[in-house]
Amino acid sequence: MDFDLTDEQRLLSETLGRFVADRYDFHERPKKMAEGRGYSKAVWDQLAELGVLGLPFAEQDGGFGGGGVETLLVMEALGKGLMVEPYFGAILLAGGALRLAGSPAQKGARLEGIIAGQYLMALAHAEPDGLRHTVDQLRTTAMADGDGWRLTGVKTAVIAGDSADELIVSAATPAGVTLFLVDPQADGVTIVGHPGYDGIRVADVRLHGVAVPANAVLGGLGGGAPILTRLFEEATAALVAEAVGIMADTLNITVDYLKTRSQFGVAIGSFQALQHRAVDMMMQVELARSMAILAALALDMPDEERRLNIAAAKAKVGQAARFVGQQAVQLHGAIGLTLEYKIGHAFKRLTAIDAWLGDADHHLDVIAEAGGLPAIA
């Protein structure tokens, strides 16, 4: 496998690194979270100007045709900044569903606005009864109604759901799971937004017999399960990259703290036991980074190999994230849990990332059920 970045990829990484370092001060994060959308529209517009919002979309659709490695670089940079802007939810989840399943007309009506940062979509799939790891067992239903459909059900943890211009809703139909484009202002739609424990704004969406036209179907009747399967594999690879960015930043903050915090007249970083713990953190960060690279490259592998390698990456990164977060908090002491300090917020986001799209235990079960990982050539 070739782990070297191209010149374009290296430039992307450096540009985003500078953007996050120069324009995303952690102490401004609460102000961004307090905005009506739960994030900064100004920052979102800046990401659009940088071309980041258009990165995953095909060139013929107005994007830049980025793949798994480019998404890895973006998500790692956003992770380092602990950014609350909904790149993952709006661009990779909802935008990814549109990219994978949208017709030329559906894409043409939306992608220009999405790439410009002027149109926001949200994917409503998870349900409150715990069916979050499945793509084909849904309580939300869509029943035929003349030439259209009526949707009924409840969705939860919809990223940026209360600020979205349009929802993509998964629902069970007689033909199988199907994706529908839904106007959040339509009769029968109730949306309640609230901040998640990691700072990312999410929403609960209730659908009470919501009428949608026939052309609201995304990807064909019964085509939702394979679309969501592929989408969630891409999204999982993106999440592990974000976790690596958070862990790398957490490690740097912790090492700086060990160098400056004094006890018994010396910096606590001079204590060998604490040095060993910092080294253990570094080893977990680098191991997680290698697994994130594997996940990004696995997106181009055959189906089963892709599925299991991404599951392995999510499992290992979840374990590493818990270790790094716990060590960082312990090495900082009480300050690590204060609202004014970045470490506690980073640990919360790492915990949320582990839970999204299946935690470490879930993905270990996936690998065990398959009889282990495929051999790497």
Q: What's the pLDDT score for residue 107? A: 97
Q: Which residues pair with 206 in a beta bridge?
A: 154, 190
The least confident of 84-88, 180-184, 338-342 is 338-342
What confidence score (pLDDT) does residue 19 get?
Answer: 94
- Write down the pLDDT at residue 328: 96
Three-class secondary structure assignment of 246-314: HHHHHHHHHHHHHHHCEECCEEHHHCHHHHHHHHHHHHHHHHHHHHHHHHHHHCCCCHHHHHHHHHHHH
- Confidence at residue 339, expressed as pLDDT on a 0 to 100 scale: 85
Residues 180-193: what's their mean pLDDT? 98
Does the structure show a pLDDT above 60 at 2? no
Q: Kindly report, residue by residue over 264-283, the tens digit of the pLDDT.
A: 878 887 789 999 999 999 99
- For residues 116-127, give the mean pLDDT: 97
Span 198-224, mean pLDDT? 96
DSSP 299-359: TTS-HHHHHHHHHHHHHHHHHHHHHHHHHHHHHHGGGGGSTTSHHHHHHHHHHHHHHTTS-
**What's the pLDDT tens digit per position in 238-268?**
999 999 999 999 999 999 999 998 888 788 8
* DSSP state letter for 133: S
For the chain, helix, strand, coil in percent to 5 are: 55, 15, 30
pLDDT of 375 higher than 80: no
Residues above pLDDT 90, as percent of the chain: 85
Structure tokens at 353: 């990332």
Q: Is the pLDDT of residue 132 over 70?
A: no
pLDDT of 377 higher than 60: no
Residue 43 has, within 13 A of its CA and on its CB side, a CA count of 24
Residue 314 has pLDDT above 80, yes or no: yes
The pLDDT of residue 129 is 77
Confidence check: pLDDT of 356 > 70: yes
Give me the pLDDT at residue 202, please: 97
Answer whether residue 148 shows pLDDT above 70: yes
Q: Going from the N-terminus, what domains does the chain have, and what CATH number goes with each?
A: 7-120 (1.10.540.10), 122-221 (2.40.110.10), 225-369 (1.20.140.10)
9-18, 126-135, 243-252: which has the minimum mean pLDDT?
Answer: 126-135
> What is the pLDDT averaged over residues 116-139?
87
The percentage of residues in the chain with a pLDDT greater than 70, rounded to a whole number, is 97
Backbone dihedral angles phi then psi of residue 110, each to the nearest 5 degrees: -130, -35
The residue whose two tokens read 């017999």 is: 209
Average confidence score pLDDT of the chain: 94
Q: Which two tokens stand for residue 101?
A: 């399943």
Statement: residue 131 has pLDDT above 60: no
Mean pLDDT of 44-53: 96
pTM value is 0.95
Q: What is the pLDDT of residue 109?
A: 97
Amino acid letter for position 14: E
193 sits in which H/E element: strand 189-195
Going by pLDDT thresholds of 50, 70 and 90, the confidence category of residue 188 is very high
The pLDDT of 74-86, averaged and rounded, is 96
